[in-house]
């Protein structure tokens, strides 16, 4: 298996918050000025550490939203019972300093060298690492055709809508809205299922690379369905997030 990531210690460093951009009412993109960033690959994540005045710290991991070579960005969704995400999405502002370390993870990555078709399946803020991949594809002018199937609750919950709607040739973005559709919506409705995946997914015979990112139940369902459509399990890379994992 390729992708060996041997390197020295990942040290914490202080990053300065550049711009912050509200993507939806609960999702914010934060640009970080990182003095010694070693560079990242599309799909990797980084760790954030916050420190309270009494020395208490909290750490979390976030997917990197920007392409390799671009300023480091993370996109954070506010979780109602969260400890770190409400701070990052509501309190943090330009000029603040936070500690980060990274990049982390060498498996859920796409480098763009392989011309095989790519299927990206996102649930909610699971779309974040895919923005890094799509931006990377455009920056390096990669030839691999990409389909992004993106499930969101409502039109207002779609992250990066403007950017996703103007992708270059070779990229198709297919939305499905699960709870609320705008008037005149002609796109897909409801949760991703075998019928929709069968329609959107590249034929298994084309050896597509497949990435699935979202909440655990979403990823379980999509990955199981792709296996049933004939995708080899080893071609399906998954990233699950969220504390709500049931039991």
DSSP 121-176: EEEGGGGHHHHHHHHHHHHHT----EEEEEEESSGGG-TTHHHHTTPPTTEEEEEE
230 binds another protein (CB under 8 A): no
Q: Which is nearer to another protein, 180 or 244 (CB)?
A: 244
Of 145, 116, 149, which is closest to residue 221 (Cα–Cα)? 149
DSSP 36-93: T-----TT-EEEEEEE-TTS-EEEEEEEB-S-TTSPEEEEEEPPTT-SSHHIIIII--
User: Residue from 139, 189, 191, 237 that binds another protein (CB under 8 A)?
Assistant: 237
Q: How far is the CB of 244 from another protein (least distance, A)?
A: 6
Residues in region 182-221 near another protein by CB under 8 A: 216, 220
Query: The sheet that has 27-33: what strands, in order across it?
Result: 57-63, 45-51, 97-104, 13-22, 27-33, 72-77
Q: How far is the CB of 161 from another protein (least distance, A)?
A: 29
Name beta bridge partners: 146.
Answer: 118, 171
Residues in region 4-23 near another protein by CB under 8 A: 4-10, 12, 14
227 binds another protein (CB under 8 A): yes
106 binds another protein (CB under 8 A): yes
User: Residue from 36, 39, 53, 166 that binds another protein (CB under 8 A)?
Assistant: 53
87 binds another protein (CB under 8 A): yes
Start-to-end CA distance of the chain, whole Å, equals: 32
8 Å CB contact between 188 and 196: yes
Q: What six digits make up the tokens of 31?
A: 């640009």
Stretch that binds another protein, among 110-118, 126-134, 149-157, 230-238 (CB under 8 A): 230-238
Total residues contacting another protein by CB under 8 A comes to 52
Q: How far is the CB of 155 from another protein (least distance, A)?
A: 29
226 binds another protein (CB under 8 A): yes
**Contacts to another protein by CB under 8 A:** 1, 3-10, 12, 14, 49-53, 56-61, 83, 87, 91, 96-99, 104-108, 216, 220, 223-224, 226-227, 233-234, 236-238, 240, 242-247
């Amino acid at each position: 298996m390729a992708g060996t990531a041997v390197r020295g210690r990942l040290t914490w460093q202080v990053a300065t918050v550049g711009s912050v951009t509200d993507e939806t009412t609960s999702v914010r993109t934060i640009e970080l000025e990182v003095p010694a960033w070693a560079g990242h690959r599309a799909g990797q994540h980084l760790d954030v550490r916050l420190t309270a005045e009494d020395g208490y710290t909290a750490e979390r991991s976030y997917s990197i939203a920007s392409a390799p070579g671009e300023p480091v960005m993370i996109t954070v969704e506010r979780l109602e019972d969260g400890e770190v995400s409400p701070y990052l999405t509501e309190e943090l502002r330009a000029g603040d300093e936070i500690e980060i370390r990274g990049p982390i993870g060498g498996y859920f990555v796409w480098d763009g060298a392989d011309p095989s078709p790519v299927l990206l399946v996102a649930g909610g803020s699971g779309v974040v690492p895919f923005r890094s991949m799509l931006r990377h594809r455009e920056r390096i002018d990669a030839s691999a055709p990409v389909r992004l199937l993106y499930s969101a609750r409502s039109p207002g919950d779609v992250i990066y809508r403007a950017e996703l709607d103007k992708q270059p040739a070779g990229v198709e973005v297919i939305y499905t809205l699960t709870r609320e559709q705008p008037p005149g919506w002609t796109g897909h409705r409801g949760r991703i299922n075998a019928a929709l995946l069968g329609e959107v997914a590249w034929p298994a015979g084309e050896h597509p690379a497949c990435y699935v990112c979202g909440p655990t139940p979403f990823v379980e369902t999509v990955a199981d369905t792709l296996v049933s459509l004939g995708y080899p399990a080893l071609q399906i890379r998954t990233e699950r997030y969220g504390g709500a994992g049931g039991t």
